Amino acid sequence: FSPWTVAFCITGLFSGSSYIAIVELSYRTGVSAIWYGVAETVQIILIALLLVKPLRRKLVVTVTGIIGDRFGRAAQGVAAVITGFTFPMYSLATAIAFASALTVITDVTLWQSIALTAVILFAFLVFGGMRSVAFSQTMNVIVIAAMFLVGVWAILASPGLDGLGEYTRANPEMVAPANAGVSLIVAWFGTFIVNVPLAQAAFQMSMSARTPEDGQKGLFLAAVIGAPLILLGVVVGVASAAVVPSDGRPLLAISEYITQTLPPWAAAVFFVGMWACALGWAGPCQFSGATSLGRDLGGALRPQASQEQLVRYTRVALVLLTVVLIVFSMLRAEDSAWWNIMAWTLRNGATFAPVLAAFFWPVATRSAAMASLLGGFGAGFAWYALSGFDSTEFLLGTHPVWVGMIANMVALVVVSLAAGRWTLAQDRTRRVRGASALGAAVVLAGVLVTFWSWAATHGLVGLGLFLVVTALFAAVLLLTVPDGSADPSEDTAAEAVAGPADAAPADSVPEDAVAGDTSRR
């Protein structure tokens, strides 16, 4: 792929998703919804700066592949199931938007519209693949650009700039920068930043570039192209709230706003743009989820499976994920951003620490990886359940993303260290960096305790605890190395990565320990 093709792929993937979430959020919370788009843009830039070149060298395709190569087939299978079944949540987040427009136009029930959208997505993916995704993403961006122009027309037609001004003066909370809630906004940034090493759909697209440099250029271009779309989403959402106020589903109200404001042909262009946003995000997500569930789970269950069999498993997984998408729509056919963030909470809360351990910590054991996968996923889901699966109000004012991530890191470290096959690093550089991380943890803990009341009032206790645990996690990764006495038959990191633990000096992390041999991927 050329840089522009990568840019179109990433724009369709992330900016289309952001646009739908921001339109819905801004209808309810005003301009504060822009932080969702800013957080996602930060993610794109960090992927370009930090990961494209290293992952291209390792030929990494899926997050579950990284975990499987490092921690074995059981961990790969669990990671594949978690990843596979969270991707339809991402897909639903944008499928809701086009389905809402279809419902307004045809009077078909919303879940039936989503079911139809899911079936069309399935047909698109079955007869294509990554090449079809690349071509369609380019077309999607062109259609989204047309939607952008039509959206500007709608805003100028009704309520107009004067009408927007009057509405915001009457409803000043709609221009408050933190109206969505400080806790939720911080959770958006935390979720997207944590997702940087786990954004496998973006990896697959950026690594399809001719060179790593082209992949980086494409990501930077995508960040630039997506900025106007993010701004438009905010204004369209606020304009819709001014013209079609409703306490019901925002995306239905927005669709009504477009049909009332524009002539039929222009409304059709706008709705086709919403379909492009849905296809640009949901298509790659379904494809990537099916890759994890079909290829990685299939490979874990049947290691001797041929490439043809793995492709067949992936197609079966596509059928299954299409059904899952429809079931999710029947459970909750609204809250686009909520579905996205919940999916990231569950998936990243399971895979974050094992992936970092695969790259940087040979001490980690297979049993620790399994505990981390299940513990992080379970903690995040349980916290959502205890919060009533609400989109803005959480138990103890703490977003589930922080609970899942903390459980994920703690489980990996505790179980690995309990195995006893480690020693303190002797390398001076590692010790200095580890001590610095410990110092940072102490400082962060002190700040959190000092400002506990303020943090609790603003819903930032979870973030504070997450930062403290992350600093401790970094310290452990830096200060501990394999002791060189592990039995090769045991489930040690060294066995999973580079053979016997004494194959490399105890105070170093060999290059082969980064992600295992992923050449077969």
Q: How far apart are CA 251 and CA 270, in angstroms?
A: 13
Rounded average pLDDT over 481-507: 44
Looking at residues 50-79, what average pLDDT do you find? 80
Q: What is the rounded distance in angstroms from the CA atom of residue 351 to the CA atom of residue 78?
A: 10
Q: What is the pLDDT of residues 109-128, one digit of tens each?
A: 888 888 888 888 888 777 76
- Which residues are CB-contacts of 295 (< 8 A; sequence separation ≥ 6)? 62, 310, 313, 314
pLDDT digits (tens, 9 = 90+) for 440-455: 999 999 999 999 999 9
Q: Which two tokens stand for residue 317?
A: 């997984």
Name the residue with tokens 């459970």: 331
Work out the mean pLDDT of the chain and round it to a whole number.
84
Please work out, in degrees rounded to the nearest 5, the angle formed at the alpha carbon of residue 235 by the alpha carbons of 258 and 18: 90
Distance CA 415, CA 493 (A): 12
pLDDT in tens, 151-201: 999 999 999 999 999 999 999 999 999 998 888 899 899 989 988 888 877
pLDDT-derived band at 292, boundaries 50, 70, 90: confident
Say what percent of the chain tops pLDDT 70.
Answer: 90
Place of tokens 């271009």: 221
Confidence of residue 511 (pLDDT cuts 50, 70, 90): very low
Q: Give the predicted TM-score (pTM) of the model.
A: 0.81
**Per-domain boundaries in the chain:** 1-334, 342-521
Residue with more model confidence, 54 or 7: 7
Sequence-distant (6+) residues with CB within 8 A of 139 are 276
Tell me the DSSP string of 71-135: H-HHHHHHHHHHHHHHHHHHHHHHHHHHHHHHHHHH---HHHHHHHHHHHHHHHHHT--HHHHHH
Instruction: Identify the weakest region by mean pLDDT among 63-72, 148-157, 409-418, 489-498.
Output: 489-498
* Nearest alpha-carbon partner for 206 in 215, 196, 195, 217: 215
pLDDT of 470 > 90? The answer is yes
> What pLDDT shows up at residue 496?
36
Which range of 86-95, 274-283, 459-468 scores highest in mean pLDDT? It is 459-468
Question: Three-state DSSP class for 480?
Answer: strand
Q: Determine how many CB atoms are found less than 10 A away from the CB of residue 155.
A: 22
Which DSSP letter does residue 210 get?
A: S
In this prediction, residue 338 has a pLDDT band, given cuts at 50, 70 and 90, of: confident
Is residue 220 within 8 Å of 48, Cβ to Cβ? Answer: yes
Confidence of residue 19 (pLDDT cuts 50, 70, 90): confident
Distance CA 363, CA 354 (A): 11
- Which amino acid, one-letter code, is at 53? K
Of 452, 97, 447, 366, whose CA–CA distance to 250 is shortest? 97
Q: What is the pLDDT of residue 58?
A: 60
pLDDT of residue 130: 54
The stretch 193-211 carries a mean pLDDT of 80
Residue linked to tokens 């700039």? 161
Please tell me the predicted confidence (pLDDT) of residue 516: 35
DSSP one-letter code for 481: E
407-413 mean pLDDT: 97
More confident residue, 152 or 248: 152
To the nearest 10 degrees (0 to 180), the angle between helices 130-157 and 16-29 is 30
37 and 228 Cβ atoms separated by less than 8 Å: no
Tokens representing 131 are 């090449």
pLDDT at 304: 86
Q: Given this model, what pLDDT does residue 63 score?
A: 80
* CATH fold of the domain at 1-334: Sodium/glucose cotransporter (1.20.1730)
pLDDT recorded at residue 131: 56
Residue 470 has which token pair? Answer: 């992350």
